[in-house]
Amino acid sequence: MPIHEKSLIRPENLKTSGESLVIDGIDVSGHWSTFIQSRVVRDYDESMEQEIAALPGGEYIHRCWQCGSCTNSCTVNAINPDFNPRYWIYLIRMGMKDELLRDKDIVWQCVSCNKCTYACPRDVVPEGVMKATAHWLELKGHTAKSHSTVFDEIFSGQVIATGKIEEGRILRGFFRRTGQVLMQDWVVELVRRMIRHIPVGLLMRMGMANVLRPRTRGWGRARAALEEYVHEQEARHRKALGLDHPAE
Amino acid sequence: MEQKYKKVAYYPGCALEGTGHSYNRSTKEVGKALGLDLVEVENWNCCGAMEVKNIDPKIQTYLSSRVMSIAANEMGFDTVMAPCNGCYHNLKKAEYDLGQDAETAEVVERLSTKAGHETYKAGQIETIHALDWIKDSLGEEGIRQRVKGGLKGLKVANYYGCMYTRPRHIFPEKDKGPGSESTLKPHYMDDLLAAAGAENVDFPLKTACCGGAHTLSDSDTSTRLVLNILRAAEASGAEVIATECPTCHSGLEMHQIRAEKKLGEKTGVKIVYFTQLLGLALGLGARQVGIHENVSDSLGFLKQKGIA
**pLDDT score recorded for residue A211:** 63
Residue A1 pLDDT more than 50? no
Whether A50 and chain B come into contact, CB under 8 Å, resolves to no
Whether A60 and chain B come into contact, CB under 8 Å, resolves to no
Residue A248 pLDDT more than 50? no
CB contact under 8 A, B209 and A113: yes
Name the residue ranges covered by the structural domains of chain A.
6-36, 48-144, 147-231
Q: Does domain B7-128 have CATH number 1.10.10.10?
A: no
Interface probe for A, chosen from B47, B51, B162, B210 (most Cβ of A below 10 Å), is: B51
CB contact under 8 A, A197 and B293: yes
Instruction: Provide the angle, in degrees to the nearest 10, between the axes of the packed helices A185-195 and B246-263.
Output: 130
In chain A, residues with a C-beta closer than 8 Å to the C-beta of B217 are 146-148, 150-151, 174, 178
Alpha-carbon span A169 to A165, nearest angstrom: 8
List residues bridging with B82 in a β-sheet.
Answer: B129
In chain A, residues with a C-beta closer than 8 Å to the C-beta of B50 are 112
Interface probe for B, chosen from A107, A115, A118 (most Cβ of B below 10 Å), is: A118
- Cβ neighbours of residue B48 under 8 Å, at least 6 residues apart? A156, A159, B59, B60, B61, B63, B64, B90
Q: What is the pLDDT of residues B58-83, one digit of tens each?
A: 999 999 999 999 999 999 999 999 99
Pairing relationship of beta strands B37-40 and B7-10 according to DSSP bridges = parallel
Residue A11 pLDDT more than 90? no
- One CATH from 3.30.413.10, 3.40.50.11810, 3.40.190.290, 3.90.50.10 for B149-304: 3.40.50.11810
Whether A186 and chain B come into contact, CB under 8 Å, resolves to yes
- Amino acid letter, B131: L
In chain B, residues with a C-beta closer than 8 Å to the C-beta of A75 are 208-209, 211, 225
Distance from CA of B163 to the nearest CA of A (A): 7
CB contact under 8 A, A186 and B262: yes
Whether A221 and chain B come into contact, CB under 8 Å, resolves to yes
Confidence band, pLDDT 50/70/90 cuts, at residue A55: very high
Q: What is the pLDDT of residues B28-51, one digit of tens each?
A: 999 999 999 999 999 999 999 999
What's the 3-state SS for A25-93?
Answer: CEECCCCCCEEECCCCCCCCCCCHHHHHHCCCCCCCHHHCCCCCHHHHHCHHHHHCCCCCHHHHHHHHH
Q: A48-144: which CATH architecture? A: Orthogonal Bundle (1.10)
Q: What is the pLDDT of residues B168-214, one digit of tens each?
A: 999 999 999 999 999 999 999 999 999 999 999 999 999 999 999 99
Residue range(s) in chain B whose domain bears CATH number 3.40.50.11810: 149-304
Instruction: Return the residue of B nearest to A56 by Cα.
Output: B56
For chain A, positions 65-94, list CB contacts with chain B under 8 A.
Answer: 75-76, 79
- Amino acid letter, B139: G
